[in-house]
Amino acid sequence: MPCWKARGVTTLFITNRGFADMLRIGRQNRPELYNLQPGPRMDPVAEELCLEMGGRLSATGELLDVFDAADREKLAAAIAEHRPRSLAVNLLFSWLDDGPEKSVAACLPGELFVSLSSSVLPEIREYERGMATWLNAWVGPLVQGYLHRLQAGLPGSRVAVMQSSGDTVVADRAGDQAVRMLLSGPAGGLVAAGFLGRRVGCRRLLSFDMGGTSTDVALLDGEPRLTTEGHIGPYPVAVPMVDMHTIGAGGGSIAWLDEGGMLQAGPES
């Protein structure tokens, strides 16, 4: 299956030997439990962009497979062939010791955007950690470019950026953690709804937020609730984000015909 139809950059996904299919396999959860003929799911990363390397740790943090000179040569060859703008490094048990991932990062060209799972989401479960790391690398260079141009156009101003959790972060730090901004637009709407509700003395609200891309709803009882079980499309994003659900397309969604001639709406807008 083809990878995502979207606007990220060419990204190499680096993991340990034997785990190149990590993001493709996922958790094998079936969204339609009783559907005996489910449709194929889009692969998040193309097969040729997944590299297997050393640097594997055990569950106790013991180094089992070193990242050696042969791995460095293989990595350099892949960069020369695919010319990526970013790399996502997700080694097993990196949350116990970030040393192996930093060893990979140390041999990479300085102009590449590098996303380490030990920095993006230092938690157990390699699939969820890997998906967050890949998403961060996939959109990170674009987000950094937007923010640099914005800051350049506002000299002397302090620029803060909304995150998916509903709080803000200074723009200088936001680009390195782009995955934490994937739901920032709807999160801003939910924070605003809570603020307006408190102003009129109503803490319990049901929000309805139709934008250009999606229509989102959430239940507010005081402050917005957070979850680490959110999704972007069919893929999990385990970083903290507001507990909000997408129920439909947005007002600017583009209608199109799929390969079977069926009418679709969005997510492009």
Residue-level pLDDT at 28: 76
- Out of 81, 114, 140, a domain closes at 140
5: in domain:
no
Average pLDDT, the chain: 90
Burial (Cβ within 10 Å: 0-12, 13-18, ≥19) of residue 127 = middle
96 and 80 belong to one structural domain? yes
Q: What does the pLDDT look like over 216-259, one tens digit per residue?
A: 899 998 888 999 888 887 788 899 999 988 888 888 889 989 88
Longest dimension (CA), the chain: 65
Domain total in the chain: 3
Choose between 4 and 70: higher pLDDT.
70
200 and 177 belong to one structural domain? no
DSSP string computed for 183-248 = THHHHHHHHHHHHHHHHTT--EEEEEEE-SSEEEEEEEESBPPEES-EEETTEEE-S-EE--EEEE
Pull the structure tokens for residue 152.
Answer: 């350049």
Q: Which residues contact 81 (CB under 8 A, 6 or more apart)?
A: none
Place of tokens 């509903």: 166
The pTM of the full predicted model, rounded to 2 decimals, is: 0.86
Task: Give the pairing of strands 11-16 and 86-89.
Answer: parallel
207 and 110 belong to one structural domain? no
Q: What does the pLDDT look like over 47-72, one tens digit per residue?
A: 999 999 999 999 999 999 999 999 99
95 and 164 belong to one structural domain? no
Q: What does the pLDDT look like over 168-219, one tens digit per residue?
A: 999 888 888 999 998 888 899 899 999 999 999 998 999 998 888 888 899 9
Q: For the chain, what percent of residues have pLDDT higher than 90?
A: 61
145: in domain:
no
Residue-level pLDDT at 1: 35
25 and 129 belong to one structural domain? yes
2: in domain:
no
- Residue 175 has phi, psi (to 5 degrees) of -65, -35
1: in domain:
no
46 and 102 belong to one structural domain? yes
6: in domain:
no
Residue-level pLDDT at 6: 56
Q: Which domain holds residue 157?
A: 150-181
User: Averaged over 15-25, what is the pLDDT?
Assistant: 94
Residue-level pLDDT at 222: 83
Smallest Cα–Cα separation from 166: which of 128, 136, 103, 209?
Answer: 209
3: in domain:
no
51 and 62 belong to one structural domain? yes
191 and 214 belong to one structural domain? yes
16 and 127 belong to one structural domain? yes
